């Protein structure tokens, strides 16, 4: 199985991929190798934007910072935050950007011009004055990390190198946990899995798999954790490494 992060890893900065990358991943799948997308974004981003935009329909997607892993329409891993915790945490945010639940994507009106969000199905524009009534994959927005209750056993705080937002996910929602669960269900050994990444949420993956590759534009922590470095996301780094080392 090939497991690849999306933003700044597989995707170029404009969220596209080259025809060369599409062709390489097609040939990878023709070899009987599964392709998984692993992203911090919610699952709608993959199914509603990336698949139509790139023409790549992965076998597996690990989304919502590892809160969800899905294969052939079946959930292999799911870790959601209780809605009571979500509602309590929102009080500590200066601005809530969104809350992603199974059936609804709640989006602040402050971000209503974000086409990656507003175009999603089941998007509800809200001021978050009313309580959320469903468990959520994540909550994110602008918040002072020091003001958040880190001792809450239900949650984990996620930060990013390129944006200032803070994301709250279930304590056990990590890309690593989701991938381990996926590999166990599909009976794929860890040494038969190749992982690519670039940011904080990828460090665990890169550290725990022997076949781990950081793109050259990755943060230094990812490069230190990875076994190999490939070219950048803008230069088809993932595809070039796969063609040279797998195909």
Residues 42, 63 contacting (CB under 8 angstroms): yes
Structure confidence at residue 150 (pLDDT): 61
The conformation of residue 134, written as its DSSP 8-state character, comes to S
DSSP 209-247: -SEEEEETTS-HHHHHH-SEEE--GGGTHHHHHHHHHT-
CA dihedral 136, 142, 146, 151 (to 10 degrees): 0
Residues 83-170, CATH architecture:
2-Layer Sandwich (3.30)
CATH architecture of 2-78+174-245: 3-Layer(aba) Sandwich (3.40)
What's the confidence (pLDDT) of residue 84?
93
Phi then psi for residue 137, to 5 deg, are -75, -40
Q: How confident is the model at residue 191, as a pLDDT?
A: 96
Q: Is the pTM of this model over 0.85?
A: yes
Which of 65, 55, 62 shows the shortest CA–CA distance to 21?
A: 55
pLDDT at residue number 109: 87
Q: What is the pLDDT along the chain (247 residues), one digit of tens a residue?
A: 999 999 999 999 998 999 999 999 999 999 999 999 999 999 988 888 888 888 899 999 999 999 999 999 899 999 999 999 999 999 889 999 999 999 999 999 888 776 666 666 788 899 999 999 999 999 999 998 887 766 667 899 998 988 889 999 999 999 999 999 999 999 999 999 999 999 999 999 999 999 999 999 999 999 999 999 999 999 999 999 999 999 9
pLDDT value of position 207: 97
Domain coordinates in residue numbering, the chain: 2-78+174-245, 83-170
Kindly state the tokens that stand for 199.
């940011």
């Amino acid at each position: 199985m090939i497991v690849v992060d999306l933003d700044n890893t597989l995707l170029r900065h404009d969220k596209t991929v080259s025809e060369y990358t599409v062709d390489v991943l097609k040939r990878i799948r023709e070899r009987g190798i599964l392709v998984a997308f692993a992203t911090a974004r919610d699952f709608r981003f993959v199914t509603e934007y990336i698949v139509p935009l790139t023409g790549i329909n992965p076998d597996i997607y690990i989304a919502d910072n590892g809160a969800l892993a899905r294969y052939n329409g079946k959930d292999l891993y799911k870790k959601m935050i209780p809605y009571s915790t979500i509602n309590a945490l929102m009080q500590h945010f200066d601005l809530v950007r969104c809350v992603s639940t199974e059936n609804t994507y709640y989006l602040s009106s402050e971000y209503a011009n974000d086409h990656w969000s507003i175009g999603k199905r089941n998007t509800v524009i809200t001021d978050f004055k009313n309580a959320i009534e469903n468990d959520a994959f994540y909550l994110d927005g602008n918040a002072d990390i020091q003001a958040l209750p880190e001792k809450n056993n239900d949650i984990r705080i996620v930060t990013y190198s390129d944006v200032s937002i803070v994301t709250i996910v279930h304590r056990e929602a990590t890309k690593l946990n989701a991938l381990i669960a996926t590999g166990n269900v599909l009976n794929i050994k860890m040494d038969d899995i190749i992982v690519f990444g670039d940011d904080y949420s990828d460090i665990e993956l890169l550290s725990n798999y022997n076949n781990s590759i950081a793109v050259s534009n990755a943060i230094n922590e990812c490069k230190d954790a990875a076994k190999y470095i490939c070219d950048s996301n803008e230069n088809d780094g993932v595809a070039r490494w796969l063609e040279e080392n797998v195909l």
